[in-house]
Amino acid sequence: MSEKVEFKKLREFGEIINDTIRFFKENFKPLLKVFVYFCGVFIVAGMVATIFQQMGMQHAIRNFGSVSTYARLTGLLSVTYFFVVLIGMFGYTALNVSIFSFVALYIEKGNVAPTVEEVWGYFKYYFLRVFGSNVVLGLLLIAGFCLCLIPGFYLFPIISLMIPIMIFENASLGYSFSHAFKLLREQWWNTAATLFVLWIITYASSSFASLPAIILTMVSAMTNGPKGLGTSVIIISTVIQYLCQVFMIIPIIGLSLCYFNLSERQNSTGLMDRIQKMGQEQNTFPNQEEY
């Protein structure tokens, strides 16, 4: 039986990637259960809203030349479009909070996967805090990318670390922001490269899983021509697209490993914990001079 993943330890670039995939495989069932329980309602709501939004957009495209400019804009940017965005924000928050909470409890329980009930205790405490923080951080990241892209790229690893800091350290948004800068002071490039590779793996996995939907969409687009995509194609592709969000668990696990790697380099908390445990284990041994 292989040794379970230990989060509080120093890791190099390749070790973070390998341990991310290993943790995802070893804990896939409990992770999937948490994903379904806490993100399922947002996945289903997002599917329904996106299907209606895509169907409305197809209708607007078909009638694009026969209506006014206002009607074109309202057809493309309908109310359902904003519902898709809002549900997506709630779903993204639920995914982050549930998986980071899973990791926090996994560490707390001594490398044992937590139950849904245990994750719920963390989830209900952090969900609204993280949702509000995500809105602020999203606006900050958009502003950074609007300023010649470079500030956005620089802020991306920093902003990515803020949510795990909030959950793992029960910290405020302000503290998380300053602490993320502190952790990345000499490790920005390594962390940015690690996150980049993790997102490539996630995108590749998601694209491979959704390949049937991509092929179906392309065939439908070429077959129907100006008529656009058929309703059945929209439904099938949307369902597959949302189900593939399960692969978003991968970068969240990787981000957790990045955080503990950076924290260990700065504070050596994991090393101190292991030394303390070794001392406790030694104290439990009977005195060899006693008979």
Per the structure block, which two tokens stand in for 248? 């978003």
Please give the C-alpha separations between residue 123 and each of 45, 193, 256, in angstroms, as whole numbers.
19, 29, 16
Task: Return the number of other C-beta atoms located less than 10 Å from residue 279's C-beta.
Answer: 9
Rg of the chain taking only CA atoms, in angstroms:
23
pLDDT at 290: 42
Residue 261, in any domain of the structure: yes
Q: How many domains does the chain have?
A: 1
Residue 2, in any domain of the structure: no
* Separation of alpha carbons 35 and 37, rounded Å: 6
pLDDT at 109: 92
Task: Return the number of other C-beta atoms located less than 10 Å from residue 142's C-beta.
Answer: 11
Q: Collapsing DSSP states into helix, strand and coil, what is residue 78?
A: coil
Residue 175, in any domain of the structure: yes
Task: Return the number of other C-beta atoms located less than 10 Å from residue 97's C-beta.
Answer: 28
pLDDT tens, residue by residue, 10-44: 988 889 999 999 999 999 999 999 999 999 999 99
Contact predicate 164/149, CB 8 Å: no
Backbone angles phi, psi at 143, to 5 degrees: -60, -40
Residue 240, in any domain of the structure: yes
Residue 291, in any domain of the structure: no
Contact predicate 14/256, CB 8 Å: no
Residue 246, in any domain of the structure: yes
Helix, strand, coil share of the chain (percent; to 5): 85, 0, 15
pLDDT at 288: 42
Q: Collapsing DSSP states into helix, strand and coil, what is residue 289?
A: coil
Q: What is the mean pLDDT of the chain?
A: 84
pLDDT at 258: 94
State the residue range of the domain holding 96.
13-277
Please give the C-alpha separations between residue 175 and each of 105, 128, 163, 166, 266, in angstroms, as whole numbers.
22, 17, 11, 8, 16
* Closest alpha carbon to 256 in 11, 42, 68: 11
Task: Return the number of other C-beta atoms located less than 10 Å from residue 285's C-beta.
Answer: 7
DSSP label of 286:
P
Mean per-residue pLDDT pooled into runs of 10, the chain (291 residues): 82 92 94 96 94 79 56 61 91 96 94 94 95 91 81 88 94 92 90 93 91 82 66 87 93 95 79 52 47 34
* Separation of alpha carbons 277 and 279, rounded Å: 5
Residue 188, in any domain of the structure: yes
* Closest alpha carbon to 136 in 161, 159, 168: 159
Residue 1, in any domain of the structure: no
* Separation of alpha carbons 247 and 253, rounded Å: 11
